[in-house]
Chains A and B, each alone.
Chain A
Amino acid sequence: MIACSSVTKRYGRLTAVEGLDLEVPRGRIVGMIGPNAAGKTTTLGMMCGLIAPTAGGIRVNGLPPTRLPDPAGVVGTVLDAGAAPGGVAVSEFLEQVRLVAGAGRERLVRVVEELGLGPVAGSPFRACSLGSRRRVMLAAALLGRPQYLLLDEPLNGLDPTMVRWLAGYLRELADRDGVGVLLSSHLLDEQSRVCDAIVVMGSGRVLARGTLGDVLAAHRAPAVLVGTTPELLGPLASRLRADGWDVALRDGACVVAGGSPEALAREVLGAGYPLTRLERDVPSLQEAYFALTAGHEGLRSAGAPSGVDS
């Protein structure tokens, strides 16, 4: 398991991550979402040893990331889709990574095949499309048969087919090989589809966490939209409130929190109101995201490092 315990990272007066507690178990996909400058990339950087936490501890299978005896076999990381020499052939780059990872040639062949990199294997990295580059970097991360994958925006810039394929492949890695995945992405639909757990970050802090249901429930409970004729909408709302329901009026309907459609239908019809609309109103991850991260969207770019030389 990768475990972050009260992790804080400060750059001067800027706090990028504060008091982060996060766990990535094997065989699970944990999605990390949040606005820009929420601390997602910093968190990933600390988990793979590129960034030293100011406070708190990170343990990967019980060890600090920088003390793993065989890092490539434990953590695979994709932080930057362009982190390879542009003039080097894909096959040569992967061969060099294979040597470091200590993987056999059969592993390289299998990864190249699984990720469909055969057609671009002989091409220089700079000639590859964005989708191919992302797959190359994912292949590099997978060569050592890692137990965990840390992925920073791996779905950005990909076409819908590729997004769907990659999400499915990550699911397969988690289910088939027991790989624990931490997936940072802004594509909320894919996150809600593929992730077992969601962490919502903002301003360097965890705003919500849990299963998708937990996060949505933390935002608001599922509701039922009940519609009737416009002139009876107000009286219907009053009637339902009088019966103990939590009712709000929105979009020409009564929004009844926590009710079941069947019970509400019986009550409305039994009271003699015409029923013109009856549907579940389940909050989406996108809706929850906007609600949870409201006030945390500010770009906090000042002072953050961008590389070795900056």
Chain B
Amino acid sequence: MSAGTTPVPGPGARLLLSVARQYSRDRWWLATMAVGSVLAVGLAVLFALVASNGPEPAAPGTPGILSMALTGWSTLVAAAAVAAGLVAGSEWTSGRYVVSFTLTPRRARVVTAHVVAAAGCTAVAALPVGTVMVVAAQSVAGASSGGAGGSAALGWASASAVVLLGCLGAACGAASGAALAMAARSRVAGVLAVALLFFVLPPLAAAGGWRPELLPAAQWSQLGAAALMDGGWQLAVAAAAALAWPLLATVAAVVRTVRRDIA
């Protein structure tokens, strides 16, 4: 290679760069992430102040403080998911898919690039905010427990769970956003999956229709709380819940988008 020649990335990398640029240059996505980050941190700070200055500062305990702090973070991830969906949706609502699919006739690559770019951009924005909030919540919990560091420590297992959930949340949001935007059937599949997992199964479980050991599955919709449960299988349940419905919708959308004639 001659000096000064810039190697040209492969088609897949170029496509991903282009799609990621769509996200990073979309003013609505950027605004949503900025506002969402402020809200998420604000919620954590507010809770930290309330928890540290209240009449019973240590009452919620470390898991409770972290769980409530993560509520703000999950709000951020949800907002990012919606914004990512809008960005992906603009591909279809603007008619741009005609250009995208003629430049890249292997449509699965376009869909994959959107999912990866949305998940990546969301994770890049959400993980630092989540880290800040976890550290802040940890400090508050440590202060409220009178400096007993052992009880305030998040621990590697829980920290890993939080990070994993963050990634799952980002993937969940990105996949759902892309799926929602792609085809009518995917929207139907997504809505049905959400209704089944979040509104049908939990009440059934709560009504005692299931074996008692499966009752924690009713907490599928509370991913932040599930992450801090003892044991490992609850996390798997949470992960399955986080991925199941967007995966269903995404599969429907991808099959529809890849196979459909576009005229």
Contact = CB atoms under 8 A, between A and B. Distances in A.
Contact of B261 (A50, A70, A100): A50
Interface residues of A, number: 43
B158 interface: no
Nearest to B110: A100
Contacts of B97: 83, 308
Interface string A162-184: 00000000000000000000000
B98 interface: yes
A3 interface: no
Contact of A304 (B22, B94, B182, B263): B263
Contacts of A83: 94-99
Contacts of B256: 308
A86 interface: yes
A51 B263 contact: yes
Nearest to A99: B18
A41 B98 CA distance: 13
A95 interface: yes
Contact of B102 (A48, A69, A70): A48
B46 to A, nearest CB: 35
Interface in A59-107: 65-66, 68-72, 75, 77, 79-80, 82-86, 88, 92, 95-97, 99-102
B90 A85 contact: yes
A101 B102 contact: no
Given A68-B105, A83-B99, A96-B22, A305 B17 contact: no
B211 interface: no
A65 B22 CA distance: 26
A231 interface: no
A50 B262 contact: yes
Nearest to B260: A308
Contacts of B92: 308-309
B interface majority secondary structure: helix
Most buried by B among A41, A72, A79, A96: A96
Interface string B3-42: 0000011010011011001100100000000000000000
Contacts of A144: 103
B99 A140 contact: yes
A102 B261 contact: no
B75 interface: no
Interface in B164-182: 182
Interface in B78-126: 90, 92, 94-106
Nearest to A47: B102
Contact of A99 (B21, B105, B182, B261): B21
A309 B21 CA distance: 26
B25 A92 contact: yes
A192 B14 CA distance: 40
B184 to A, nearest CB: 5
Interface of A: 11, 41-42, 45, 48-52, 65-66, 68-72, 75, 77, 79-80, 82-86, 88, 92, 95-97, 99-102, 137, 140, 144, 304-309
Interface of B: 8-9, 11, 14-15, 17-18, 21-22, 25, 90, 92, 94-106, 182-184, 256-257, 260-263
